[in-house]
Structure 1
Amino acid sequence: MIRVRVPATSANMGPGFDSIGIAVELYNEFGFEEIESGLKFNGVPEEFCNENNIVYEAMMFCFNKGKYNPKGLEISTIKQDIPISRGLGSSSSCIVAGLIGANAIMGNKFSKDDILQMAVEIEGHPDNVAPAVLGGMVVAIMEGGRVYYDMVKVQEHIKFVPIIPDFRLSTKDARVVLPKEISLKDGIYNVSRASLMVTALTNGNHDLLKYACRDVFHENYRSKLINGFYEVKEESNGLGALATYLSGAGPTIMAMISDKNDKFKSHMEKFLEVRSLNWAIHELSIDKNGAIIIEGDK
Structure 2
Amino acid sequence: MNKQITVTIPATSANLGPGFDCLGLALALYNRITFTQVATPGLTIEVTGLDAEKVPTDETNLVYQTANCLFERFGKRPSGLHIQQENNIPVGSGLGSSSTAVLAGLLGANALLGNPLTRAELLTQATAEEGHPDNVAPALLGGLVLGVMHDDQVHIELLPIATQQVAIVTPDFHLLTKDARAALPTQISRQDAIFNASRLPLLIRALETADYATLTLAMQDRLHQPYRLPLIPGMADAFEAAYAAGAAGVALSGAGPSLIAFARDHHEEIVAAVTAVFQQNGLACQSWILPVDTTGTQIRVFQKPDSQPDGLRMNADGRRL
Q: Is TM more than 0.5 here? A: yes
Aligned with residue 119 of structure 1, among 112, 122, 126 = 126
1:224 deviation in Å? Answer: 1.1
Q: 1:42 to 1:111 in 2, by over 3 A?
A: same
Structure 1 residues 209 and 8, CA, compared in 2 at 3 Å: closer, same or farther? same
Residue 42 (structure 1) aligned to one of 25, 40, 46: 46
Shift of residue 285, structure 1, vs aligned partner: 0.3
Where does the alignment leave 5 or more consecutive residues of structure 1 unmatched? none
The amino acid across from 2:169 in the alignment is: I
Shift in Å at residue 247 of structure 1?
0.8
- 1:246 maps to which of 246, 249, 252: 252
Q: Which of 48, 52, 55 is residue 60 of structure 2 equivalent to?
A: 52
CA contact (8 A) 2:212 2:263 kept: no
* Equivalent position to 1:89, from 70, 93, 96: 96
Q: Distance in 2 between matches of 1:65 and 1:286?
A: 35
* Deviation string, structure 1 residues 50-103 (Cα, Å, up to 9, x no partner): 3222111111223344453332322111x2111111111111110011111111
1:6-43, CA deviations, whole angstroms, 9 ceiling, x for partnerless residues? 11110111100000000101111111123342111112
Superposed CA offset, 1:204-246 (max 9, x none): 3221110011111111111111001011110101111110001
Pair 1:23–1:113, CA change in 2 (3 A): same
How many angstroms apart in 2 are the aligned matches of 1:259 and 1:120? 34
CA 209–65 in structure 1, closer or farther in 2 if over 3 Å, else same:
farther
Over 3 Å counting, the alpha-carbon distance change for 1:167 and 1:295 in structure 2 is farther
1:104: which partner in 2? 111
55-64 or 162-171, larger mean C-alpha shift: 55-64
Q: Distance in 1 between matches of 2:260 and 2:302?
A: 34
Give the equivalent residue in structure 2 for 1:220: 226
Aligned residue for 2:82, secondary structure, equals strand
- Checking the alignment, whether the CA contact within 8 Å between 1:62 and 1:118 is kept in structure 2 is no
For the residues of structure 2 that align with 1:47 and 1:242, how far apart are their CA atoms? 35
Q: Is the 8 A contact 2:241 2:270 kept in 1?
A: no
Please tell me the residue identity of whatever aligns with 2:230. K
Partner of 1:18: 21
Q: Which runs of 4+ in 1 moved over 6 A?
A: none
Query: 2:242·2:271 contact (CA, 8 Å) conserved in 1?
Result: no
RMSD: 2.1
How many residues were matched structurally? Answer: 296
Consecutive unaligned residues in structure 2, runs of 5 or more: 305-321
Residue from 61, 68, 80 that aligns with 1:72? 80
Q: CA deviation at 1:148?
A: 0.4
Say if 1:252 and 1:68 are closer, same or farther in 2 by CA, change over 3 A.
same
Is this contact kept in 2: 1:120–1:126, CA < 8 A? yes
TM-score, length of structure 1 as denominator length? 0.92
Q: Distance in 2 between matches of 1:173 and 1:277?
A: 19
CA distance in 2 between partners of 1:114 and 1:27 (Å)? 23
Map of 1:136 onto structure 2: 143
Q: 1:181 aligns with which of 184, 187, 190?
A: 187
CA deviations over 1:240-273 (Å, ceiling 9, x no partner): 1110001101111110111475644455556656
Which region of structure 1 is more displaced relative to structure 2, 287-296 or 25-34?
Answer: 287-296
Is the contact made by 1:104 and 1:297 (CA closer than 8 Å) also made in structure 2? no
Tell me if the contact between 1:246 and 1:252 (Cα under 8 Å) persists in the aligned partners.
Answer: yes
Mapped partners of 1:171, 1:265: distance in 2: 24
1:153 equivalent in alignment to 2:160: yes
Is the 1:33–1:105 Cα contact (8 Å) retained in structure 2? no
> More displaced, 49-58 or 13-22?
49-58
Q: Which amino acid aligns with 1:145?
A: D
Give secondary structure in 2 for the equivalent of 1:120: helix
Letter in 1 for 2:199: R
Pick one of 233, 236, 240 that aligns with 1:230.
236
> What is the TM-score of this pair, normalised by structure 2?
0.86
Farther off after superposition, 286-295 or 175-184: 286-295
Within-5 A mapping of 1:217-296: 217-259=223-265, 263-266=269-272, 268-269=274-275, 277-294=283-300, 296=302
Q: Does 1:28 align with 2:35?
A: no
Q: Please, which of 61, 64, 76 is the counterpart of residue 69 of structure 2?
A: 61
